[in-house]
Structure 1
Amino acid sequence: MPVFTPEYLHKVAYHIYRAKGTPEDESEIVARHLVKANLAGHDSHGIIQTPTYVERIDVGHIVPGASFEVVKEAPCTAVINGNWGFGFVVTEKATRMAIEKARTNGVAAITVHHQSHIGRLGDYPTMMAAEGMIGMITADSGAAPKHVAPFGGIARKLGTNPICIGMPSNLDGPVLMDMASSTVALGKIALARSRKEEIPVGWIVDKDGNPTTDPNDYYSGGAILPVGVDQGHKGYALSFMVEVFSGLLTGLGFGIDPEGRHNDGVFIAAFNL
């Protein structure tokens, strides 16, 4: 397997996005988040995402340089329309807004809709923790194609619906919980498939609902399972609540549109300590 330095990967990613018409500052932000995911050990959310993002730019599902639109705003809250911009760019800016509101008022809550994939959630509560705050973020894909079967089912009805909470600590880094409400993020299935590796039992079922260790079975009509395996009703409940915060509360919507563009609806909360 080839090995590249982080600096090389950052440079390659930056120039790929610049070549696709992405502004300099946005190309820098996207490249930084992708390489950081690799360095954190989450290759599923790293540079491997670049071909997908390039394809989404080509079909208009990602709009480089899109405007950051504040639809509604109050001292402690805001509603943001990302106008289909890069999720890294939109959510990073929304997180900074939450930090400033919480610094002034003690707490802040912000929702974001109409933006692309925001990547590894841990990046955003880490920003809040660095400012002495507890940070929380949830994400959902709206009506875009789904990946996860509800507890007891086999059809894809839910997103992987992740949640992340971070807080400062007296250790070398913040305390951070970053998890999907499914057994695994979709990117890890794709990563195993590209590496021609088997996956653990309990991650997915095939199209007939049978447990399988072959990641290709997911792409043949299978589904990811809720976190918890035999206690998957707990993961299903958590996924449902994340969808309420990130889909309904944001105004993004819910349901399944097989032709819908990927769209991370996001709820952000900051608590100043």
Structure 2
Amino acid sequence: MAMVDAARLEALVAAIFERAGCAPDEAGRIGHYLTEANLTGHDSHGVARVPRYVDWLREGRVLAGKEVTAVVDTPAVTVLDGHYGFGQTVGPQAVRIGIDKAKANGLAAVALRHAGHLGRIGDFAEMAAAEGLVSIHFVNVVGSILVAPFGGVDRRLSTAPYCVSVPLEGRPPLLLDFATSLVAEGKVLVASLGGKPVPPDALISPDGAISGDPAVLYGPYPEGPGPRDPMMGPGAIRAFGEHKGSGLAFMCEILGGALTGAGTTGPDKRFCNGMMSIYINPKVLDPDGFFPTEAAAYVAYYKSAQPVAAGGEVLVPGEAEARAKAKKLKDGVPLSDGAWDSIAATARELGIGDNVIGAALRAG
């Protein structure tokens, strides 16, 4: 297990993408958002994806230096094309437009199509919450057929993330952010690199047998930091929550994919994210100021439930992420040896010296 300093990890990832052809500001954003995912405990959307992102850039599947353009633009509704640019660039641009419209009008809907991998959607929800806005996000992954629907074994869904964030006065926002698959594909990737195993029922084989073996998704793969292709395995990831998770994933495909114009997931489609986002200004919706007091009271009531285990605690959405970030900023970001080796190998391929790579590691 490698323990890496968060700030130096962010700088190393930024250096990798600058060497790979991104402008310094874009490389910095990629470094920031990928590291932030690890800090908040979403390793599946974090720095383990660096080699894959670099490969996508080389292959032209994601493009550097792109900005969103408006396909439809009204005071409350915008449809944006991300032109297959890095999600860490076009994603924040789309969110900024949603924030500005919701502040002006009380409500906004922003449809983003053709975005590169957006990463952790919670980053964008937190961006809106920091400006006092509620936000809801339905996301799909076009061209990424990974998940079997409830009652089936064939892949028909993407991991289809769903996210909601609610600002609260005097405390971090409430944040619900998850893939509608039982685990994100990135968690299977992390497990394949020697990180935390996935649950033993996370994957399903063509014969209906459930499994936690990453080879069900990737097929045979090399030891160490070699490539992983989720399209090469015979099986699929399972949807969480049986019919409920499968149904929510289906709606993410319809809203995030079909409604935005990105397209639903399926064979022979170019990889991209679609994101349908709704932004609400509580100050417009709630002129009497009822919401902040009632929400805070409910948080306290919810957390007062007796824990299952002695010494345990009931957490509201977002608390685990906030605590994980505080701990990792203090102690360092833990990465499996496989994940760290794959990042280091990519850095070396791009001409970054071992002195720079090694500087990110914490002693001991």
Partner secondary structure for residue 67 of structure 2: coil
Separation in structure 1 between the aligned mates of residue 213 and residue 131 of structure 2, nearest angstrom? 43
Query: Residues 201-234 of structure 1: CA distance to partner in whole angstroms, max 9, x if unpaired?
Result: 2211123220112122222311111111xxx111
| Greater length-normalized contact order (CA 8 Å, ≥ 6 residues apart) | 2
Would you say the 8 A contact 2:57–2:63 is kept in 1?
A: yes
How far does the alpha carbon of each residue in 1:24-81 deviate from its partner, in whole angstroms, 9 at most, with x for none?
2111111110111111111111111110000000010111002321111000011111
- Unpaired runs of 5+ residues, structure 1, are none
Instruction: Check whether the contact 1:124–1:137 (CA below 8 A) recurs between aligned residues.
Output: no
Match of 2:106 in 1: 106
1:170 alignment counterpart: 169
Greater displacement, 166-175 / 94-103: 166-175
Please name the residue that 1:227 is paired with: 240
Matched AA of 1:165:
V
Match of 1:141, SS state, is strand
1:94 alignment counterpart? 94
* Partner Cα distance (2:263, 2:196) in 1: 36
Please say if residues 68 and 94 of structure 2, whose CA atoms lie closer than 8 Å, have aligned partners that are also in contact: no
* Matched residue, 1:264: 273
Matched, 1:250 2:263: no
Residue of structure 1 equivalent to 2:251: 241
For residues 176-199 of structure 1, the C-alpha deviation after alignment (integer angstroms, 9 at most, x for no partner) is 100111111110011111116643
Whether the 8 Å contact between 2:37 and 2:120 is mirrored in structure 1 is: yes
Give the letter aligned to residue 248 of structure 1. Answer: A
C-alpha RMSD of the superposition:
1.3
Match of 2:222 in 1: none
3-state DSSP of counterpart to 1:3: strand
Measured after TM superposition, the shift of residue 253 of structure 1 is 1.8
The alpha carbon displacement at 1:161 in A equals: 0.5
Alpha-carbon distance in 1 for matches of 2:281, 2:192: 42
**Partners of 1:52 and 1:6 in 2: CA distance:** 20
Look up the equivalent residue of 1:269 and give its one-letter code. Answer: I
- Report if aligned partners of 1:57, 1:64 keep a CA contact under 8 Å in 2: yes
User: Is the contact between residue 108 and residue 280 of structure 2 (CA under 8 Å) also seen in structure 1?
Assistant: yes
> What residue number does 2:37 align with?
37
Gaps of 5+ in 2: 219-232, 283-364
- Asked if the contact 1:148/1:158 (under 8 Å) is kept, the reply is yes
In 1: Cα distance, 2:275 partner to 2:172 partner = 24
TM-score, normalised to structure 2's length? 0.71
Q: Partner amino acid for 2:174? A: V
Q: For the Cα contact (< 8 Å) 1:80–1:112, is it kept in 2?
A: yes
Q: Distance in 2 between matches of 1:94 and 1:47?
A: 23
Amino acid corresponding to residue 8 of structure 2 in structure 1: Y
Q: CA distance change for structure 1 residues 135 and 255 in 2, over 3 Å: closer, same or farther?
A: closer
Cα distance in 2 between the residues matched to 1:198 and 1:93: 35
- Please report the TM-score for the alignment, with normalisation by the length of structure 1: 0.94
> What is the distance in 2 between the residues matched to 1:54 and 1:255?
23
Tell me how far apart the structure 1 counterparts of residues 275 and 123 of structure 2 sit (CA, whole Å). 14
For 1:257, what is the secondary structure of its paired residue? coil
Matches of 2:253 and 2:198, distance apart in 1 = 26
SS of structure 2 residue aligned to 1:201: coil
| Residue of structure 2 in register with 1:67 after alignment | 67
Q: Distance in 1 between the 2:12 and 2:245 partners? A: 38
State, as a whole percentage, how many aligned pairs show the same letter. 36
**In the alignment, is the contact (CA less than 8 A) between 2:182 and 2:239 conserved in 1?**
yes
Q: Which residue of 1 aligns with 2:28?
A: 28
Equivalent position amino acid for 1:224 in 2: I
